[in-house]
Structure 1
Amino acid sequence: MAEREKNYMPQSTAGLIRYFDEEGGIKMKPEHVIWMSVIFTAFVLVLRFF
């Protein structure tokens, strides 16, 4: 059988943390992130006009 070629990661990714493998940290639903962004944007707009 033919030998399989080994695939190597590009050098630019060497040493980076794979965050999707991390178990710790804050767990948030995407909906919460969207709502927090909308609320923050509204807050900034209110402050800008007053």
Structure 2
Amino acid sequence: MARRDKIYMPMGTGGLLRYQEEEEMLTIKPEHVVAIVIAVIALEFLLKFVG
């Protein structure tokens, strides 16, 4: 029988970037995002019913 040559793929992330490794100027916690969204929704309700 003929011997099959195996193709080995490089072990890695498949071309995906890992953004956690980069230093960012602005970091926002998920809790802050939720608080901002709730504040915007509350502001919309306030403007709709009062204004």
Q: Shorter chain as normaliser: what TM range?
A: 0.5 to 0.7
For structure 2, the residue ranges without an aligned partner over 5 or more in a row are none
Q: Percent identity?
A: 24
What is the 5 A alignment of 1:1-50? 2-4=6-8, 20=19, 22-50=22-50
Query: How far is 1:22 from its partner?
Result: 4.7
- Superposed displacement of residue 26, structure 1: 1.9
Structure 1 residue runs without a partner (length 5+): 10-17
**Normalized against structure 1, the TM-score is what?**
0.56
Rate the CA distance shift 1:2–1:22 in 2: closer, same or farther, 3 A.
Answer: same
When residues 25 and 46 of structure 1 are mapped into structure 2, their CA distance, relative to the original with a 3 A threshold, is: same
Name whichever structure is richer in helix by fraction.
1
How far 1:44 sits from its partner (Å)?
A: 0.7
The residue aligned with 1:15 is none
| RMSD across aligned positions (CA) | 2.7
- What secondary structure is seen at the aligned counterpart in 2 of 1:47? helix
